């Protein structure tokens, strides 16, 4: 059994709304209530290094594996970035100082995940470290930096399962061993991945 930490800001994708002290209090309460009942922890849709550090501080006493799942800026570029604008390579380097079992990328368009894995692998190789890699992209149209979650719905794109499988094959070739789907990725996509 696993447990997921909820986002602790007002609306996803908005790192500028993250409140460290408030988040620590909420996450610590969730941790204490669930720790004896779970086998591992997954922190999802992490938008900034600061948010990852808060989660790491909450879990520093846990002996259970912890996986960090970052949401990425939906603009394809030569260096992958978190929604905060921070480089994925900096986030990975910061996590390797913590107890991290895996690094995932979630709730981002599939096109930006390949670069995130390339950047992650470069940091892992430089530090001679190994972690589990995974991805679960969404089926949204690219999310603008000024998007206000919960004030309307995000547009879905026409992404067929076969195209999603092509992305997943790229991720797998870069070391991803856990691959699934996030928002807008339904059972037919998972069936295609399994096949």
pLDDT top residue among 174 and 146: 174
Full set of structural domains in the chain with CATH: 2-194 (3.20.20.330)
pTM of the entire structure?
0.87
pLDDT, mean of residues 154-164: 84
Say if residue 50's pLDDT is above 90.
yes
Q: What is the pLDDT of residue 100?
A: 93
Q: What is the pLDDT of residues 19-40, one digit of tens each?
A: 888 889 999 999 999 999 999 9
CA 134 distance to own-chain centroid: 9
Q: What is the mean pLDDT of the chain?
A: 88
């Amino acid at each position: 059994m696993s447990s997921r930490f909820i986002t602790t800001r007002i609306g996803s994708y908005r790192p500028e709304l993250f409140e460290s002290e408030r988040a620590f209090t909420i996450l610590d309460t969730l941790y204490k209530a669930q720790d004896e009942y779970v086998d591992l922890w997954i922190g999802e849709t992490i938008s900034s290094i600061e948010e990852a550090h808060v989660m790491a501080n909450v879990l520093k006493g846990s002996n259970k594996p912890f996986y960090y799942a970052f949401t990425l800026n939906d603009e394809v570029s030569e260096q992958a970035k978190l929604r905060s604008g921070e480089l994925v390579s900096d986030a990975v380097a910061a996590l390797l100082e913590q107890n991290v079992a895996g690094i995932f990328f979630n709730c981002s368009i599939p096109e930006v995940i390949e670069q995130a894995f390339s950047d992650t692998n470069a940091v892992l190789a430089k530090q001679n470290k190994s972690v589990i890699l995974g991805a679960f992209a969404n089926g949204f149209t690219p999310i603008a930096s000024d998007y206000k979650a919960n004030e309307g719905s995000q547009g879905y794109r026409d992404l067929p399962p076969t195209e999603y499988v092509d992305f997943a094959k790229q991720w797998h070739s870069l070391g991803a061993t856990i691959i699934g789907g996030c928002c807008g990725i339904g059972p037919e996509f998972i069936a295609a991945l399994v096949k």
